[in-house]
Amino acid sequence: MSNPSLLILPGDGIGPEVMAEVRRIIDWLGAKRGVTFDVSEDLVGGCAYDKYGTPLHDDTMAKAQEVDAVLLGAVGGPQYDNLDFSVKPERGLLRLRKEMDLYANLRPAQCFDALADFSSLKKDVVAGLDIMIVRELTGGVYFGEPRGIFKEGNERVGINTQRYTESEIERVARSAFELARKRNNKVCSMEKANVMESGVLWREVVQKIRDTEYPDVALSHMYADNGAMQLVRWPKQFDVIVTDNLFGDILSDCAAMLTGSLGMLPSASLGAPMANGRPKALYEPVHGSAPDIAGQGKANPIACILSFAMALRYSFDMGEDATRIEQAVEKVLADGVRTADLMGPEGGVPVSTSGMGDAILAALDASL
C-alpha cells in the first residue's frame, strides 16, 4: 500500500516559517511512529505570482487534485495590493476551494485552559470551550448570479445574489451531522428564515436530512443574528453549528476571537469522497500571512500544526496521532511556553517560532 500523499503550499509571509514546524512534526511521525507521507511542495499566492504571473499555476492545481490532502500556510502581502483582482494572491486560494469543490469548511473554536485569560470574555464563559462551526463554502451570496456593479438610471447599483440548491444544503448538513456523531450528537443550524427565502429552504432541508438520516442527532434552529449574540453570551451552549457561506464567514471569525488568539486556530475544508474513500481536503490556519512579522521568528506555528492534526484525523484516519499532537500543544501551553502573540501580563517562557516547535516536539517525545 502506498503512503498517504500530502501537498504542502507554504504561501507568503509567515507561511513558510509556520510550515517548517509542521515539516518537523511530519519527520517526527516518521522517525518515532513509523508513519510516513509522500510529501511534495509547491507555490501559491504572491510567491506563485512572482514566479509564474499567476497566484496558482495549472500544474499546482493538478497536483492538488491528485493528493490525499493539501496543507496551506497563508497568502497575501501589501506588495500585491495593487495587482489586478484576477491575479491577487487570494485568488489562488479561492481557485483551490472552487475547483476541488470543497463545500464544507470546518472551523473549530477551542479555548485551552492556559489561554482562557486571553479572551475578551470572562474566563468562566470561555474556559473549556470546544465548538465546531461547519460553514458552506462554495455556494451562497459569494458565488450567486447575477452579481456585479451595474448602471441603473443615473446611479450605480451593486448586486450579489444569495442562492442555494437543495443538494448544496443537503451535503453540508450531512457533514455537520456526521461530525456531531463523533462529538456530542448536537447540531444548531443558523440562517435567516424570518426574512430570506433561501433561509426558509435551508431550514426545511436541514430538518429533512436530520429526520430521515440522522434521527439520533439533536437539531435546533436559530436565526444567525441571534446566533452571533449567543456566541458571545454563552458559547458553551453549542457543539456543532452549521450555516451558510456568508453567515459562516462572520460567525466563525466571531467564535475565533472567543479563544483569545487567531494564532491558535486551525481549519479544514472538505469535499466529496475520492476513489479511495477519503474526502478531497485542504487544511489551513485561520490566521493571515502577517507580513509585518514575516522572517523574524515571531510567528506562532500552533494553528498550522493543529491544522495538520486535523488532516491526520479527517483525511488519514490517524485520530490517535492527531490527539497526541493536540495534547502536546496543550501541555506546552500549560507549561507557560509562549510565542509573542501569547505573552500576557502573567508572563511566560518567551520562545521563537522554532522554539515553540522544539517545545511541542519535546512534549511529543515525552508522550511515547
What residues are annotated to the active site?
A: 142, 192, 225, 249, 253
Cell numbers placing 208: 429533512
89 within 8 A of 122, measured Cβ to Cβ: no
Q: From start to end of the chain, where are the E strands?
A: 5-11, 38-41, 69-74, 104-110, 130-136, 148-152, 155-159, 186-191, 218-223, 240-243, 266-273, 279-285, 337-338, 349-350
DSSP letter (8 states) at residue 347:
B
Q: How are the residues of the chain apportioned to helix, strand and coil, as percentages rounded to the nearest 5? A: 50, 20, 30
Query: Helix, strand or coil for residue 320?
Result: helix
302 within 8 A of 356, measured Cβ to Cβ: yes
Distance CA 182, CA 185 (A): 7
CB count, 10 Å around CB of 38?
A: 12
Distance between alpha carbon 65 and the CA centroid of its chain, in Å? 19
Distance between alpha carbon 109 and the CA centroid of its chain, in Å? 10
Distance between alpha carbon 80 and the CA centroid of its chain, in Å? 23
Burial class for 40, CB neighbours closer than 10 Å (0-12, 13-18, 19+): middle
Distance CA 282, CA 268 (A): 6
DSSP string spanning 85-139?
GGGSHHHHHHHHHHHTT--EEEEEEE--GGGGGGSSS-HHHHTT-EEEEEEE-SS
CA-based end-to-end distance of the chain: 26
